[in-house]
Amino acid sequence: MPNLDSNIEFLKGVGPQRADTLKTELGIFTCRDLLFHFPFRYIDRTQFHRIRDVHHEGENVQLRGILRRLETMGEGKAKRLVGTLRDDSGIMELVWFRGVQWLEKSLQVGKEYIVFGRVSEFNGRLNIPHPEMEEANQETGQKAKNFDPVYPTTDKLTQKGLDAKGIRKLMRTLIDGLTASELPETMPDYLTRQFRLTSRLDALQKIHFPENQQELDGATRRLKFEELFFLQLRLLQIRTRRKDSFRGFVFSKIGAFFNDFYQKKLPFELTGAQKRVLKEIRSDLASGKHMNRLVQGDVGSGKTVVALMTMLMALDNGFQACMMAPTEILAQQHFEGITALVGDLGVNVGYLSGSVKGKKREAILAQLASGEMHILIGTHALIEEWVKFKNIGISVIDEQHRFGVEQRAKLWAKNPSGPPHVLVMTATPIPRTLAMTLYGDLDVSVIDELPPGRKPISTMHKTEHHRLRVQGFMKEEIAKGRQVYVVYPMIEETETMDLQNLMSGFEALSRDFPPPEYHISIVHGKMKPADKDFEMQRFLRKETQIMVATTVIEVGVNVPNASVMVIENAERFGLSQLHQLRGRVGRGADQSYCILLTSYKLSHEGRERIQTMVQTTDGFVIAEADLRLRGPGNIEGTQQSGMLRFLLADLARDGQMLAAAREVATQILEKDPALSLPEHGRLRQHLASEGRDARVWSRIS
């Protein structure tokens, strides 16, 4: 028996050819890789259905019967293999569309088989497409007390004899040869006792070949906890090392800039949540340790004011500040908003983007280098080498998931005396479990309160049948002097088709809302930035009443006069996108509306998304629903995160376990930051062995 780090080809039953296919198809290079290739479901071999008791499409059933007929039907793409299984209660049709030649040779009419598959319906008759087939014999009868694992596989592997059953056979060989010395315990005994966890060896054996559901649950629980615990331990170590390694500039005082703004310029009372977050930031900045804090808050929760007041703290202590946004529109909006807020306080605020050129750019750079410019707001142009600050103390990054690690790292190098403090902001509410994972090495602040006096946006679901009524409502709002957004989906894979939908929608609206009474702007991703900006500015100046757009307006222009958001084909948007789009209205004093237009037929998930939007405007509730419906890997900004590629853990379902894992990891590192105590030897050893292969997490954020 080879050891776990041996090449997979040396495992009995593999060999060079199968090994090559395992490597290319599943990324399995070693015996250890195979061990961690977990089943995606289990067949309870104790349960057999009688054919006459199978009534419903979508059921997973296990049958035992004689294969009575097997014939190839159709030609070309319609070619299929059709079989008939009979037991003492009836017959069930079996059908295969792939691997027909191989199956014709391997299946035999007249033999008894154990069949497992999902029931389907075609032309009013039930059948099982692509069932798993296993010859029934004395061995399978005896083995019927087990849960049989079913492994992910592919057509190429199946052709090599490595279907779910073939992989199961390899796994049996591997598991039977495992020893405790090859799979040492990774966690201290006190932790396994505290959480009643089975041993690591036992868990890995039982997750592949459990005797019953109880054994499977115990093995799954142990391995999930280990996965989450070591992730949190690594993230917290990174945070601890960053805080210990990097001295932060000390902002020891609150001076005239901050106090004058707070007492004379702030146009509204801060919410309790804003005050709490500012206290957390103030504590960081006075501590002498480097701040790396994420502020998340819903659309309109007042993150920009918190960011401005944080930058004013830097000014009071003799430092400059900058604020970087992902698009020119958003950066310009921040510049205009902050310039208006500070008024005549004597704060010099500048704007820099790729489109600022010539003498204007030279003047900004000169003021920046001399220290005359206090706050610089702009796009990724801020990180260019030719942008030199005299003494930058804090960098604010808005919608931070849109910037790469390298871009954020360049801001760190802008002060030779040491890295500026970092405040990252997002208007995309992140579920707590996701924040603990994606941003586990950051300190997280949440603005979970909206300013008083804001009217909640009224959200309605309408189908195509109500289009005339919706247009009538739009005309009523425009007659009151308000403006309307009409948003169409733009999805990369079908960009051409979506552009046609957008243009045909624009033409239809132009007929229903004709000039001179109505004027319409149009914005989409294929337009040149200057044309896009021109159209948006027309809308902002109230020269047009309707803005037809794709999701380019999701984060961007702030038009307080826009009171209606109509989202076409709303079922094609994710919850997070729908919520962000809805946040484009409701920015003024008027009652605002969001109308979700869909086709009459909706999938179950589509209907649930629309209902969630109608029922709540709370971004955090919506984010939790989004996580539950789509999983963490599809939530905006997380697709590329290696941290979300769990083998077993599921952030939508395992939130309590994640919180417990983080809490215990925090306690361990507070007591023993270097993991030098004898009882933490296993943790130290496991982290060191993992570190050989582990991805290097950025300390930037």
Does 564 fall in a domain? yes
488 and 372, same structural domain? Answer: no
Instruction: Among 103, 124, 145, give the residue marking a domain's end.
Output: 145
Q: Which two tokens stand for residue 219?
A: 């093995």
**C-alpha 490: how far from its chain's center?**
19
- 3-23 CB burial, b ≥16 within 10 A, e <16: ebeeebbebeebeeebbebbb
414 and 269, same structural domain? Answer: yes
Q: What confidence score (pLDDT) does residue 464 get?
A: 87
568 and 421, same structural domain? Answer: no
What pLDDT digit, counting tens, does each position of 271-292 carry?
A: 999 999 999 999 999 998 889 8
Does 62 fall in a domain? yes
Structure-token match 């306080």, residue found = 345
**C-alpha 35: how far from its chain's center?**
27
Q: What confidence score (pLDDT) does residue 225 get?
A: 96
pLDDT band at 496 (very low <50, low <70, confident <90, very high): low
Say yes or no to pLDDT of 557 above 70.
no
Strands 292-297 vs 60-73: parallel, antiparallel or unpaired: unpaired
336 and 476, same structural domain? Answer: no
512 and 398, same structural domain? Answer: no
Q: At 480, which amino acid appears? A: K
Say yes or no to pLDDT of 234 above 60.
yes
Q: Which two tokens stand for residue 242?
A: 């960053």
Higher pLDDT, 401 or 132: 132
Q: What confidence score (pLDDT) does residue 617 get?
A: 86
Instruction: Among 591, 616, 641, give the residue marking a domain's end.
Output: 616
Does 655 fall in a domain? no
Does 650 fall in a domain? no
Among 73-82, 453-462, 546-555, whose mean pLDDT is lowest? 546-555
Q: In this structure, what CATH number is given to the domain that contains residue 580? A: 3.40.50.300
Among 3-17, 303-317, 525-539, 663-677, whose mean pLDDT is lowest? 525-539
Does 371 fall in a domain? yes
What pLDDT digit, counting tens, does each position of 25-73 carry?
A: 999 999 999 999 999 888 776 778 999 999 888 888 889 999 999 999 8
Distance, first Cα to last Cα, the chain = 44
Provide the residue range defining the domain that includes 409: 256-287+301-426
Does 208 fall in a domain? no
**Which one-letter DSSP state was computed for residue 364?**
H
Question: Average pLDDT over the chain, rounded to whole?
Answer: 86
Does 23 fall in a domain? no
612 and 471, same structural domain? Answer: yes
340 and 477, same structural domain? Answer: no
Does 327 fall in a domain? yes
Structure-token match 């826009």, residue found = 562
Q: Percent of the chain scored above 90 by pLDDT?
A: 51
| Beta-bridge partner residues of 71 | 82
Instruction: Among 96, 121, 145, give the residue marking a domain's end.
Output: 145
Q: What confidence score (pLDDT) does residue 365 get?
A: 94
Q: What confidence score (pLDDT) does residue 340 get?
A: 92
What values do phi and psi take at 73, rounded to 5?
-130, 155
Q: Which of 117-121, 382-386, 470-474 has the highest mean pLDDT?
A: 470-474
pLDDT band at 695 (very low <50, low <70, confident <90, very high): very low
Q: At 676, which amino acid appears? A: S
* 619-630 vs 604-615: helix crossing angle, rounded to 10: 170
d(CA 652, CA 641): 16
Say yes or no to pLDDT of 144 above 90.
no
526 and 409, same structural domain? Answer: no
What pLDDT digit, counting tens, does each position of 86-112 carry?
A: 999 999 999 998 888 888 888 999 999
d(CA 520, CA 576): 27
Q: Say if residues 149 and 35 touch (Cβ distance below 8 Å).
A: no
604 and 469, same structural domain? Answer: yes
Q: In this structure, what CATH number is given to the domain that contains residue 136? A: 2.40.50.140
